[in-house]
Chain A
Amino acid sequence: MNWWARVWRGAKLEQQLDHELRFHLDAHEADLIARGVAPAEARRQAQLALGLSERVKEQCRDARGTRWVDDLLVDVRYAFRTFRRLPGFATIAVLVLALGIGATTVMFTVVNSVLLRPLAYPEPERLVTLLGSISTVGEVWGASYPDFVDIQRQSRTVTMAAWRYAGGTISAPGDPEYVDARQVSAGLFTVLGLPLAHGRVFSPEEDRPGAAPVAIISYRLWQQRFGGGSIAGQRLAFDGISYGVVGVAPAGFSLDGDADVITPLGQTTEPRMRNRFARFLRVTARLAPGVALGEVQSELALIARRLAEQFPASNAGRSVVARPLQREIVGDVGSALWLLLGAVSLVLLIACVNVASLMLARAISRDRELATRVALGASRARVVRQCLTESAILGLAGGVVGVLLAIASVQPFVAFWPGVLPRAGEIHLDWRVLLAAFGVSLVSGLVFGLAPALRVPMDGVEGVLRGARTVARNSRRLHSAFVVTELALALVLLVSAGMLVRTLLSLQSLDAGLNIRNVLTTRFAVSPGVLGSPEQIQAAWQDILDRARHVPGVQFAALTDIVPMRGGVNTLPYSITPAVPPPSVAPVALASSATSDYLKVMGIPLVAGRFIDDHDRLGGEPVVVIDENLALHAFGRRDVVDQQLWVPAIGPAPNRIIGVVGHVRHWGLAQDDGSRVRDQMYYPLAQVPRSLLRTWASFMSMVMRTSVSPNDVVAPLRRDLRGIANDQVMYGVRTMEQLASESLARQRFLAQLFAIFGAVALLLACVGLYGVLAYLTGQRAREFGVRMALGATAGDVMRLVLSQSAALIVIGVSIGIGGAWVAARLLVRSVEGMRAAEPLTVAGMTGVLVATALLASAIPARRAGRADAVRALRQE
């Protein structure tokens, strides 16, 4: 019979053991009687020979090796009986723990799914992204198409693919709709290792200019527009071109965001596909079998060196490095996630300490019960085990409720995440999270159960039983330690929350450099029918501007390719001399192309000269408007009108500076100060070369200043902009106020969550303080009575209790300030725009904590002051 069978069939084994021993006794007795011993004496002798049959049974049970299971079952049953007698205690303990474990589980689920779990590709650890590396700047994304082709041809250690964001209007089949798209080189799906849901990937022949237009569509598009049927011979009208549908991407396919239409990159005929300066491609690669990352790095460096020698103008000083794809996809979200996980862990710790002090208070009131057990022969280990069983059950119950809470709140949490949480679609509880939650529940059970269990009385048992000993000195110290811990942890969270809120307030009050009130911004796609001709594109833009200006409520309207505080950048190297330094050392500026009313719409102050007007056209003198930062940076002064600026990416001829304007916090209120590129320039949209207009058309935006609430003009605008063919689409509509607010979304989100955590921590700490003081003063009621009988006033007794709690608060606060200092440094390092901890914040939060803690101690103090001297003495 194996061990499990022995556990399960314990009752039957007991019965058999009883039978066996009874048979032995009866047989022995019969033998003795047969030998002439008197029956009563025979019975006695048989019993004597065998020994105490209960002891024999015990030893036989020990031989089974299942003893601890039986003990455990007894303990568990006993624990449940105890909890049933104290439902309030058990409920509070389980709820407090569930809160802590639930919050921690949610955060760990997100951290696990986003940061820890490998990407959902075969052999994800062999996927890398290729980045440019410039010694003075660091790593920068982006590769030019010629560079990509050269590296791809020369590399033996990786297979690679390039891709870029795109977007456009689907006009058939179905209603016109603007969708996100990607242009990818032929090998992309092979590199990722993803099989298509249907159809085939692009062939190398299709990845060339002049090949027949083909597209892979998303699973969603296939379902919605093609009914999930056969794709053979199906066609898709996308941005005015009819594509043959050759494949369907797997459901949930994401290439740094969802994409509905995927087309071959090599078919693009834009001039910048041949320009080594234009680094607009992302490159994803897979390590060849058996190749280590180190070999890849050295080969890439070698190829980059060769390219730099061959094309010094564009490639000098530039290397290429491979970085794990996962890190690239997850981006900077990691620090915020770890920060939140750390914060909820603190909350969990406070919850554990809270329950521990509850348990301890209860354990002290159980001293008699435990002493009785010890007196009856229970070993210390046995009693400790019983106490730990109880707390483990509480911990596990808290864990079960907590995991249920977590399951219910993971998706809402992800939905509340500001902006796009990378890999959001992959977030779910898995066995790792469950295992961690189980472990955390057990460990927290042990943590808060150990202290009460270890103070199980062994010596002086009779003293406890006689009621002579009351609160042991060491348990009072333990209680104080719990309270101090809770207060300290709560202060850490409160100061962090205070810092975040303070930072948020000061960031919100920052001047964005433009007037964000009453500005509407929208992306739009012109009719796909005009995309073939630059003249028609320009006409369509003019038409859209005119239509917008006639919408009631719109004062000014302008077109631009880049809107402040919204995604999308175009950074160009510039120089104030004709000899442009190599790109690795040239200063760069954020370059926006705009139409004449842009400054009026945005409310950007004009410092000197004039802004772009309608006379600045293609063929005329190239002009540029710069911001104060660029002026100061490049010339050391503000008034630089009529100076010249060389921007190779715009053209070889110098651009005359016609005006200087104020700096705009383009990168967001929080991010701008720390951003790498802070110089800004504006050039006329009308001077963008015709060959580029088709590219520009894919990311043009319109901005409008309104005399009414910007949201009121959205509906009429959308209607008027649809155009003659009814196929011009407005999308991504945002007011400037929204964009400014969204640029602080991460900070606001963290501030809100930390405020919640801080409040919960404060509440738990004060409940803990209250409980401990109430308990301790209750234990000292007799002493207080005696003191008052000897002439102490109620005020004296209250002062006594309050000074006791004040001592705890002072120690807790001092430790807490130390912890807060560490937390503050972590915050400053991981949150953009974070201000260092100000003394005012720390003082304010400490004040909140101290005031609340004193309030919590006032109640037990008052109760102590009302102690009845006569009754106390009578008890004595």
Chain B
Amino acid sequence: MARNVKSDLPQGTLDLLILKIVALGPVHGYAIAQRLQQASRDVVQVPQGSLYPALHRLENRGLLAADWKASDTGRDAKFYRLTSKGRSALEEEAADWRRLSDAVAAVLRLSEAGAK
């Protein structure tokens, strides 16, 4: 780990990240945790403990569905996949996020330009 500075996830973005990862194909909980870690280049601190409650919440809301299948190691694992409801939720939330981050970035650029 190059830097020891880790950011907490902004409220609500964990669901978005999970949906995005699951959208790539059926995946079990541990793999989601790994991918979150890798993809965010260790910048984002995802406590594994809050991953499972989030998964279960999304499942109960019908955004995710789950099946028990054999994993690479041959053991049965719970594989999550995106439902059609989940897919539209993902698109919506991703769009929201992009709008928000663009806006934040624009504001930040503006203040730098002003300082010059």
Which A residues contact B (CB, under 8 angstroms)? Answer: 1, 6, 16-17, 19-21, 23-24, 26-28, 30-31, 49-52, 55-56, 59-60, 62-65
The answer to whether B78 and A16 have CB atoms under 8 Å apart is yes
Pick from B34, B53, B73 the residue with the most CB of A within 10 Å. Answer: B53
- Chain A residue numbers with a CB within 8 Å of B12 are none
Return the 7 tightest CB-CB contacts between A and B, nearest first: A51-B49, A59-B53, A63-B56, A63-B57, A27-B30, A60-B56, A24-B30
Q: What is the CB-to-nearest-CB distance from A15 to chain B, in angstroms, rounded to a whole number? A: 11
Within 8 A of A (CB), among B87-109: none
Query: In the complex, A27 Cα to B30 Cα: how many Å?
Result: 7
B47 at the interface (CB under 8 A from A): yes
Pick from A27, A49, A56, A62 the residue with the most CB of B within 10 Å. Answer: A27
Provide a sorted-by-A list of 11 A–B residue pairs whose CB atoms are within 8 angstroms: A6-B60, A23-B71, A23-B78, A26-B75, A27-B71, A49-B48, A59-B49, A59-B52, A59-B53, A63-B53, A63-B60
Whose C-beta in chain B lies nearest to the C-beta of A23? B77
Q: What is the CB-to-nearest-CB distance from B104 to chain A, in angstroms, rounded to a whole number? A: 30
Within 8 A of A (CB), among B41-70: 47-50, 52-53, 56-57, 59-60, 68
Q: Which of B29, B48, B75 contacts A51 (CB 8 A)?
A: B48
- Chain B residue numbers with a CB within 8 Å of A27 are 30, 71, 73
The answer to whether A51 and B60 have CB atoms under 8 Å apart is no
Query: In the complex, A27 Cα to B71 Cα: how many Å?
Result: 10
- Chain A residue numbers with a CB within 8 Å of B50 are 59
Query: In the complex, A19 Cα to B71 Cα: how many Å?
Result: 13
Within 8 A of A (CB), among B6-64: 28-30, 33-34, 47-50, 52-53, 56-57, 59-60
Within 8 A of A (CB), among B74-89: 75-78
The answer to whether B48 and A50 have CB atoms under 8 Å apart is yes
- Chain A residue numbers with a CB within 8 Å of B48 are 24, 49-51
The answer to whether A20 and B53 have CB atoms under 8 Å apart is no
- Chain A residue numbers with a CB within 8 Å of B60 are 1, 6, 63-65
Q: What is the CB-to-nearest-CB distance from A66 to chain B, in angstroms, rounded to a whole number? A: 9
Number of residues on chain B facing chain A (CB within 8 A): 22
Query: In the complex, A21 Cα to B48 Cα: how many Å?
Result: 10
Whose C-beta in chain A lies nearest to the C-beta of B76? A19
Secondary structure of the B side of the interface? helix
- Chain A residue numbers with a CB within 8 Å of B71 are 23, 27
Q: What is the CB-to-nearest-CB distance from B60 to chain A, in angstroms, rounded to a whole number? A: 6
Q: What is the CB-to-nearest-CB distance from B3 to chain A, in angstroms, rounded to a whole number? A: 19
- Chain A residue numbers with a CB within 8 Å of B49 are 50-52, 55-56, 59
Query: In the complex, A60 Cα to B29 Cα: how many Å?
Result: 13
Q: What is the CB-to-nearest-CB distance from A813 to chain B, in angstroms, rounded to a whole number? A: 59
The answer to whether B73 and A51 have CB atoms under 8 Å apart is no
- Chain A residue numbers with a CB within 8 Å of B33 are 24, 28
- Chain B residue numbers with a CB within 8 Å of A59 are 49-50, 52-53
The answer to whether A21 and B52 have CB atoms under 8 Å apart is yes
Query: In the complex, A59 Cα to B52 Cα: how many Å?
Result: 8
The answer to whether B78 and A20 have CB atoms under 8 Å apart is yes
Q: Which of A23, A52, A60 contacts B75 (CB 8 A)?
A: A23
Query: In the complex, A1 Cα to B60 Cα: how many Å?
Result: 7
Q: Which of A19, A49, A56, A65 contacts B53 (CB 8 A)?
A: A56
- Chain A residue numbers with a CB within 8 Å of B57 are 63
Query: In the complex, A613 Cα to B75 Cα: how many Å?
Result: 117
- Chain B residue numbers with a CB within 8 Å of A60 are 52-53, 56
Whose C-beta in chain A lies nearest to the C-beta of B33? A24
Q: What is the CB-to-nearest-CB distance from A48 to chain B, in angstroms, rounded to a whole number? A: 10
A50-B48, A64-B56 known; 11 new pairs, CB 8 Å cut-off, are A16-B68, A19-B76, A20-B52, A20-B77, A24-B30, A24-B33, A27-B73, A31-B34, A51-B47, A51-B49, A56-B52
- Chain B residue numbers with a CB within 8 Å of A55 are 49
Whose C-beta in chain B lies nearest to the C-beta of A24? B30
Q: What is the CB-to-nearest-CB distance from A10 to chain B, in angstroms, rounded to a whole number? A: 13
Query: In the complex, A56 Cα to B54 Cα: how many Å?
Result: 10
Q: What is the CB-to-nearest-CB distance from A186 to chain B, in angstroms, rounded to a whole number? A: 65
Query: In the complex, A60 Cα to B52 Cα: how many Å?
Result: 7
- Chain B residue numbers with a CB within 8 Å of A24 are 29-30, 33, 48, 52
Whose C-beta in chain B lies nearest to the C-beta of A20? B78
Q: What is the CB-to-nearest-CB distance from A34 to chain B, in angstroms, rounded to a whole number? A: 12
Query: In the complex, A65 Cα to B52 Cα: how many Å?
Result: 15
Whose C-beta in chain A lies nearest to the C-beta of B54? A63
Whose C-beta in chain A lies nearest to the C-beta of B57? A63
The answer to whether A19 and B52 have CB atoms under 8 Å apart is no
Whose C-beta in chain B lies nearest to the C-beta of A28? B30
Query: In the complex, A1 Cα to B57 Cα: how many Å?
Result: 12
Query: In the complex, A50 Cα to B53 Cα: how many Å?
Result: 12
- Chain A residue numbers with a CB within 8 Å of B75 are 23, 26
